[in-house]
Amino acid sequence: MTGLFSNIIMVKDKIETVLGPTDPNELQRTLTHEHVCMDFVKHFVPASEAHQDMVNCPFTLENLNWIRHNPYSHAPNLVLCNETEAVVHDLKSFKKTGGSTIVENSSIGLSRNVKQMKYISEQSGVNIVCGTGYYVERQLTDEMKAQSVEEMTKKIVSEVTTGIDNTNIKAGIIGEIGCSWPLTEVEKRSISAAAIAQSQTQTPVMIHPGRNPSSPGKILRIFQEAGGDATRTVMAHLDRTLLKNTDLLEFAKLGTYLEYDLFGIEISYYQFATEVDFPSDAQRIEKVSLLISEGYGDRLLFAHDIHTNHRLTKYGGHGFAHIFDQVVPKMLEKGISQNAIDKILISNPKTWLTYS
C-alpha cells in the first residue's frame, strides 16, 4: 500500500495556505481548528414538538437564547457558507487583536469551497490553511462511501500535491478526518488513507474523534497501524471527549497534539451527546493548566471550531477573537505564563504545520 505513492515523498519547509506557500515565521498567533465556509445540514437535529415553530425562526434577540441552546435544530444556523462577509468582518477583528492564521478544517463532505476561502483570506488579510480527507460517514455521498482505501489515499495525495477542485490551491493539512462512535467501516478506511497519505506527503493530520472517551485511542491505533505519525497529528475536541483527568493524561502519553477547540461555547447542554456536561471556558483552562503542569505544554493547541452562524458576531456570537480577548487574560490571571500561552498559540502550531 505505502509503495503506491512512494515517488512523491516530500520534505516541507513551508506552510501551504490558500494563497500559496508561506514561511513558517510568517505565522504568529494561530488557531488550528476553525471553519469559514461549510454547511452542516446533514447534522440537523429535529426540534421537540413544542418548538417546531423555532426551526426556521429569524435571528433576533428574542430567539437567540433558544438558538444557542439548540444550535443544530435551527436550520438557518447550519449554513456558514452563506455568511462570507460576516466571516470576513470577524477575521478582520481577529487580525486586529494579533491573529495571524487559522486552519480551516472543512474536509470532503462539508461543502468545502477553497475559492471562497481564498477570497476570505484576501479580504481579511488572515492566512488560511485548508484541509483534505474525509469527514464522518453521515456527511458523505454514496459515491464517497464506496471508495477503497487506495482511492481515498489517491484523492488526498492529489489535493496535497496538485490542488483542490481544479484549482492550484493545495491542502496544508489532512483533516479534519471525521470519526463517529462507534467507527464505521468507511471511517476506518478514511483513517487508514489519511495515515498513508501523511507518510507519503509529510503533511500534518487533524482528527475529529467520536463522542466517547474510548474513541481517540481506538482511532490512533488504526492510524498508526497504517503508518501514521502520532507526533504530527492532532486529536481535536478533547474538551467534549476526554472529560476525566485520568483518561486525558493516559491519552496524552500517546504523543499526539492535544487540542482544546470549543472555546466560547458556554452552554452545558450538548445536543449531540446529552450525557456529556459540556465544559465552560474556565473548565477548559483548568484542563490546560493540568496538562502544562504534567509536561504537555508543547503539545497543546487552541481554537473555537466556529461552524455555525450563531457564533459569529453578526448574530450575537463571540467571533474569532474570543480566545485573545477573553481566554488569554483569564489564563494569565490563573497563573499560566505568557511563555506557555505563546507556545500554544504560536510555537506549537508552527511546529505541527511544518515538516523539515
Asked if the model's pLDDT at residue 3 lies above 90, the reply is no
What is the SS3 assignment for 355? Answer: coil
User: Strand locations in 140-293, DSSP E?
Assistant: 173-178, 205-208, 233-235, 257-260
How far is it, in rounded angstroms, from Cα 192 to Cα 202?
15
Residue 121 confidence class, pLDDT cut points 50, 70, 90: very high
pLDDT band at 13 (very low <50, low <70, confident <90, very high): confident
Please give the average per-residue pLDDT across 87-111, as a whole number. 98
Contact between 205 and 232 under an 8 Å Cβ cutoff? The reply is yes
What domains can you pick out in the chain, each with its CATH number? 2-40+79-353 (3.20.20.140)
Chain segment 243-292, per-residue pLDDT in tens? 999 999 999 999 999 999 999 999 999 999 999 999 999 999 999 999 99
Q: How many helices (H) and strands (E) does the chain have?
A: 13, 10
pLDDT at 11: 52
C-alpha cell read off for 41? 445540514
pLDDT digits (tens, 9 = 90+) for 300-331: 999 999 999 999 999 999 999 999 999 999 99
For 337, other C-beta atoms within 10 Å of its C-beta total: 12
Q: Are strands 257-260 and 300-302 parallel, antiparallel or unpaired?
A: parallel
Distance CA 297, CA 289 (A): 9
Task: Give the angle 241-245-247 at the CA atoms, nearest 5°.
Answer: 55
Residue 5, pLDDT > 90, answer no
30 confidence band (pLDDT: 50, 70, 90) = very high
C-alpha cell at 71: 444550535
For 201-242, the DSSP string reads H---EEEE--SSTTHHHHHHHHHHHTT--GGGEEE--GGGT-
- CA–CA distance from 183 to each of 86, 118, 172, 263 (Å)? 35, 33, 25, 26
User: Residues near 350 by Cβ (< 8 Å), separated by ≥ 6?
Assistant: 15, 24, 25, 27, 30
